[in-house]
Structure 1
Amino acid sequence: MDSWIKIFLVLLEFSAIAYILIILIFTVGWYRLKEFVSTASEVKTSLSVIIAIRNEAGNILDLLNSIDKQSLSKKQFEIIIVDDASTDDSIDIINAFKKEHNELQMKVIESDGNGKKDALKKAFSEVKNEIVFTTDGDCILNENLLKNYLNYFEENHTIKLCFGSVFYEKPNFPLQQIFRVEFASLVASGAGSAGFELPLMMNAANMAFRLKDYEVVKNKIDGENLSSGDDIFILHAFAKEFGNGSIGFYKNSEHIVETKAPLSIKDFFKQRIRWGSKAKAYKSLWPKLVSLVVFIFNFMLSATLILSIYKLWFASLYFLFVLLKFLIDMPLNRNFLKYYKKPANFAMFFLLEFVYPIYIVIAALAPIFFSFSWKDRDLVK
């Protein structure tokens, strides 16, 4: 056997071991998380709902209706919508809804910056309530979500920031089923990592924090020059300032937010490439380590597949390591989806695993070499 092949196999084995250890941490962290069920009959604090939008004319009414149906008294929350230069009818739709729902404390403002991060900063500066909740314009909230967050913060005084699960809505075609399981695996990893007190990632579509604590970290948030990462960099800033134990995950099967799944592979890749662009700005050790290990392992798997052209037995090796990866990922993904009562076609997901390494490598490297667009806006690398 050639010496370079021996070195390659050693690197493949070590990257696989590192990947297995990280997934085990996620899995143990998920099982360590305790379900939160509040026993309080009423809440005393108030909350501000922050929604940064751009071109959400087709989605915003579903979100507003889900907020209108919240079990929390309308006197205990306000809605602040900040428009990030929408070019569709979003604002007209919002204003019409506001006119028909006078009982809602609702404010619509314009962002004076460029991009979602600037829009959120503008909205945060308008907040008066103690707790801040953020979501996106294409989401639907569980009817008890806002009340649950207030209960959580009132009963967990050491928690500065809390987040919950986000799922794609029920898929309309097989490809969206794959997107749904893949997205759920990311959410599960973030939840499990938080359960191990190693905050890694979250989704701002279901996030809440104490305003006074945000004021402490708002000038210490990394990645300000990036188009993505408004959620992850806030998470990292809170963890760095207040400690990993200050981050909470709200584990409850009803405490969820649903969002729209990508409509095509093109939309899926554009979203993932945008998400991948933020990894280069990570400053915290744990997110850097996880990103590096996941990339190296999938890069080695991709290289193994390519080398099967040179020697056919590499194809068998590729199959064995992909099978290993699937079996390692399965306990966390399966239990996570089962807990939230979300059906999933894991046979289809297993087939996806054979192209998954190539997808990861492309999604990681593309932001380095190419610019990309999102919601009719060109974004820099």
Structure 2
Amino acid sequence: MEILKLVSLLSAALTIVYGLLVLTFIKGWYSLNLYKKSIITPSTKVSVIVAARDEELNIGRTIEALIAQDYPKDLTEIIFIDDHSTDSTAEIVASYANRGVKLIKLNENQALNSYKKKAIQTAIGSCSGDLIITTDADCVMGTKWLSSVVEFYQNKGYKMISSPVSYFEEKTYFERLQSLEFLYLIGLGASTIGNKKPSTCNGANLAYEKVTFYEVGGFQGIDDLASGDDELLLHKIAAKYPDKIGFLKNRSAIVYTHAKENLKSFIQQRKRWASKSTRYKNKAIIVLGVFV
């Protein structure tokens, strides 16, 4: 009887804590105003950086989506970094050279823990843009994606901007379940930014100033992990500029990608994401993720 009473009290306590957390997330989400595009003269030189490895089936669609952006071409630089692909990824990117798409081949002979960070860092070192925007080689976006992000940047003056990512073209029940879970992750990251305590973001739709990247030392100190080019960089920038992290709450800013087709690839992805948690200075983020 005593055990049942204890379990009941524990359940009630956890329910209250969970409810308070949900209310905190709701507060953070609604503190982010829905951003409405306005008429602002484009003036920011942007470098869109995409690290790619063995994406021959998807990369053409991504390139076409980037080329179709309505942001001024003279202020746009599109860079793909081929990360030791074994398929025709590099050849496909190279075929778009006459349309303003640049290709960098990552030639790294020594083994690295994070080739993606090395690829992004290499591109940043040679890019001409003041604002870096990263996405993935299997993503697509609407034509107003780039102009929405840059306008938000020019209007708000943030050092880093996280924007929404969503799964699309789901074919199975498992993929639809992933969509719900992924929406939670994106919403969680947005709400923590709204509460001025940034925790998560997604590198498939992330923007930051090049000068700020170098100010915080880039990926130095986190380059021994396979992932973390997004969240761990977010934590570094937030530590220096706690009030200069924004989330772009606008439908035009959404980047779309696909859910994992099977449980094995899903688990591998989550393991890779979880590896970042070992470097979280704020351990409350780990507790938050596990609890919720």
Same fold (TM over 0.5): yes
Paired position in structure 2 for 1:274: 272
Normalised by the size of structure 1, how large is the TM-score? 0.71
Secondary structure of the corresponding residue to residue 50 of structure 1: strand
Q: Could you say if the C-alpha distance between residues 280 and 122 of structure 1 is closer, same or farther in structure 2, counting changes exceeding 3 Å?
A: same
Kept in 2: contact 1:202–1:232 (CA 8 A): yes
Verify: 1:202 aligned to 2:197, yes or no: no
Paired position in structure 2 for 1:238: 237
Q: Could you say if the C-alpha distance between residues 68 and 2 of structure 1 is closer, same or farther in structure 2, counting changes exceeding 3 Å?
A: same
Q: Could you say if the C-alpha distance between residues 221 and 23 of structure 1 is closer, same or farther in structure 2, counting changes exceeding 3 Å?
A: farther
Q: CA deviation at 1:17?
A: 3.3
For residues 107 and 150 of structure 2, the distance between their equivalents in structure 1, rounded to whole angstroms, comes to 27
Paired position in structure 2 for 1:373: none
Q: CA deviation at 1:105?
A: 4.8
For residues 216 and 207 of structure 2, the distance between their equivalents in structure 1, rounded to whole angstroms, comes to 15
Gaps of 5+ in 1: 299-381
Specify the code of the residue in structure 2 equivalent to 1:81.
F
> Pick from 279, 283, 291: which aligns with 2:286?
291
Kept in 1: contact 2:94–2:102 (CA 8 A): no
For residues 135 and 106 of structure 1, the distance between their equivalents in structure 2, rounded to whole angstroms, comes to 15
**RMSD value, Cα:** 2.0
> What is the aligned-residue identity percentage?
30
Verify: 1:110 aligned to 2:106, yes or no: yes
Secondary structure of the corresponding residue to residue 80 of structure 1: strand
For residues 293 and 189 of structure 1, the distance between their equivalents in structure 2, rounded to whole angstroms, comes to 10
Q: Deviations over 1:106-152 (max 9, x none)?
A: 23232536321111111111122111100011100221111122211
Point out the more displaced range, 68-77 or 37-46.
37-46
Kept in 2: contact 1:111–1:122 (CA 8 A): no
Paired position in structure 2 for 1:155: 155
Paired position in structure 1 for 2:246: 248
Q: Could you say if the C-alpha distance between residues 219 and 256 of structure 1 is closer, same or farther in structure 2, counting changes exceeding 3 Å?
A: closer
Paired position in structure 1 for 2:35: 36
Specify the code of the residue in structure 1 equivalent to 2:254.
I
Normalised by the size of structure 2, how large is the TM-score? 0.91
Matches within 5 A, 1:322-361: none
Q: CA deviation at 1:42?
A: 2.9
Secondary structure of the corresponding residue to residue 262 of structure 1: coil
For residues 96 and 169 of structure 2, the distance between their equivalents in structure 1, rounded to whole angstroms, comes to 26
Paired position in structure 2 for 1:136: 136
For residues 260 and 192 of structure 1, the distance between their equivalents in structure 2, rounded to whole angstroms, comes to 23
The structure number with the bigger radius of gyration is 1
Secondary structure of the corresponding residue to residue 52 of structure 1: strand
Paired position in structure 2 for 1:327: none
Q: CA deviation at 1:9?
A: 5.2
Q: CA deviation at 1:21?
A: 2.4
Whose relative contact order is higher, 1 or 2, with alpha carbons under 8 Å and at least 6 apart? 2
Verify: 1:263 aligned to 2:258, yes or no: no
Specify the code of the residue in structure 2 equivalent to 1:132.
I
Point out the more displaced range, 199-208 or 267-276.
267-276
Paired position in structure 2 for 1:123: 123
Bigger fraction of residues in helix: 1
Paired position in structure 2 for 1:225: 224
Q: Deviations over 1:144-163 (max 9, x none)?
A: 11112221121112x10001
Secondary structure of the corresponding residue to residue 125 of structure 1: helix
Secondary structure of the corresponding residue to residue 90 of structure 2: helix
Count how many residue pairs are aligned between Structure 1 and Structure 2: 288
Specify the code of the residue in structure 2 equivalent to 1:280.
T
Paired position in structure 1 for 2:178: 179
For residues 109 and 126 of structure 1, the distance between their equivalents in structure 2, rounded to whole angstroms, comes to 12
For residues 174 and 91 of structure 1, the distance between their equivalents in structure 2, rounded to whole angstroms, comes to 34
For residues 239 and 95 of structure 1, the distance between their equivalents in structure 2, rounded to whole angstroms, comes to 36
Q: CA deviation at 1:6?
A: 5.7
For residues 239 and 162 of structure 2, the distance between their equivalents in structure 1, rounded to whole angstroms, comes to 17
Specify the code of the residue in structure 2 equivalent to 1:290.
I
Secondary structure of the corresponding residue to residue 62 of structure 1: helix
Kept in 2: contact 1:84–1:110 (CA 8 A): yes
Q: CA deviation at 1:19?
A: 3.1
Kept in 2: contact 1:22–1:290 (CA 8 A): no
Q: CA deviation at 1:293?
A: 4.1
For residues 294 and 105 of structure 1, the distance between their equivalents in structure 2, rounded to whole angstroms, comes to 38
For residues 270 and 34 of structure 1, the distance between their equivalents in structure 2, rounded to whole angstroms, comes to 35
Kept in 1: contact 2:170–2:258 (CA 8 A): no
